[in-house]
Amino acid sequence: MIRLALPNKGRLSDEVKTLLEDAGLPIRDKSERSLTARLGTDFEAIFLRAQDIPELVADGAADAGITGLDRVAESGRLLEELLDLEFGRCRLVVAAREGLTLDGLQATGARPRVATSFPRLARAFFEGRGRRVELVPVSGAAEIAPHLGIAELVVDLTSTGTTLKVNGLTELATVLVSSARLFARPQAAQWPELRELSTALGSVLRARTRRYLMANVPRARLDQVREQLPGLNGPTLSEVLGGGHFVAMHAVVVADGVYRTVSALKALGCEGILVTRIERLMP
């Protein structure tokens, strides 16, 4: 049985569980405090802290895992990315108190202190730009370090930038753009089961951004309607029994702005418009 390491708590954990369930892999037989659970017939889930997953996958305790790209990059371990899950998006940024710049800090002749829980990535970022800094490792809440006087800069994660602004910090640079990913150790990356898992998860993610639309379309307006519904490979047309001047059209459309598409179809005389969600979508 293939062992899949999953985050054990937080929003990322919830989103991963929902994705697996939508892909037909509900987590079963898991009590509140259990560390493992069945995941379909081919997988065993292991629940770990997100930051521990890269190490344990690389060491072979698990064959694959889901965690943030930031965690894998910070670990420095060699893993193969199978799929970007497109949620849990965030940025690892350099930030300082308003009015301060890295050039200004270094002009004083002293090494700016950088508070971060990502020392490997922070060091690589500054060394790559020829900047000399002193790293101050912290386990969390790096944004308060400048207020405590223990650092002039922070390298920390942000999704919206709100927490940084609340703490009077301004972003100076982006170190890394991250999201949740499915990773595997190199020896397992080509296993058919993991490739099938990647395909299944990808089909669910793809379906979330699309809708299936059906409508009865006036024959005389087909060319105009096609412009509104390009679909994946163009809309599908079929005859309507007793439809006369109408044909049935089916298409997969982008979910964002589908209300505009429906309005445009109504304006072109379409009838019986139906929009439904899609569970999976294969390219």
For residue 17, the domain's CATH number is 3.40.190.10
Computed over every residue of the chain, the mean pLDDT equals 90
My answer on whether 122 and 255 are in the same domain is: no
Domain count, the chain: 3
My answer on whether 94 and 68 are in the same domain is: no
My answer on whether 104 and 174 are in the same domain is: yes
Helix 192-208, helix 10-22: angle, nearest 10: 100
Residues 72-109 as b or e (16 or more Cβ within 10 Å = b): bbbbebebbebbebeebebbbbbbbeeebebeebeeee
> Quick check: is 270 in a domain?
yes
pLDDT above 90 for 232: no
My answer on whether 21 and 146 are in the same domain is: no
What CATH code is carried by the domain that includes residue 236?
3.30.70.120
pLDDT in tens, 124-137: 999 998 888 999 99
My answer on whether 191 and 237 are in the same domain is: no
> Quick check: is 283 in a domain?
no
pLDDT above 70 for 18: yes
> Quick check: is 165 in a domain?
yes
Tokens of 78: 């060699």
> Quick check: is 218 in a domain?
yes
- Rounded CA-CA distance 24/264 in Å is 36
My answer on whether 103 and 43 are in the same domain is: no
252 vs 125, 201, 231, 275, CA distance in Å? 43, 19, 5, 10
My answer on whether 54 and 188 are in the same domain is: yes
> Quick check: is 95 in a domain?
yes
| pLDDT-based confidence at residue 233 (cuts at 50, 70, 90) | low
DSSP secondary structure string, 31-55? -TT-SEEEETTTEEEEEE-GGGHHH
> Quick check: is 63 in a domain?
yes
Of 247, 227, 224, which Cα lies nearest the Cα of 236?
247
Q: Are 12 and 88 in contact (CB under 8 A)?
A: yes
How many other CB atoms sit within 10 Å of the CB of residue 192?
8
Ramachandran class of 83: left when φ > 0, alpha when ψ lies in -120 to 50, beta otherwise: beta
Tokens of 21: 């369930």
Average pLDDT over residues 129-149: 90
My answer on whether 102 and 238 are in the same domain is: no
pLDDT in tens, 101-129: 877 777 666 789 999 999 999 999 999 98
My answer on whether 159 and 129 are in the same domain is: yes
- Rounded CA-CA distance 243/79 in Å is 57
My answer on whether 9 and 83 are in the same domain is: yes
Q: Domain span at residue 130?
A: 90-178
> Quick check: is 282 in a domain?
no
My answer on whether 79 and 62 are in the same domain is: yes
My answer on whether 18 and 84 are in the same domain is: yes
Which residue's structure tokens are 């139906």? 274
Q: Are 155 and 125 in contact (CB under 8 A)?
A: yes
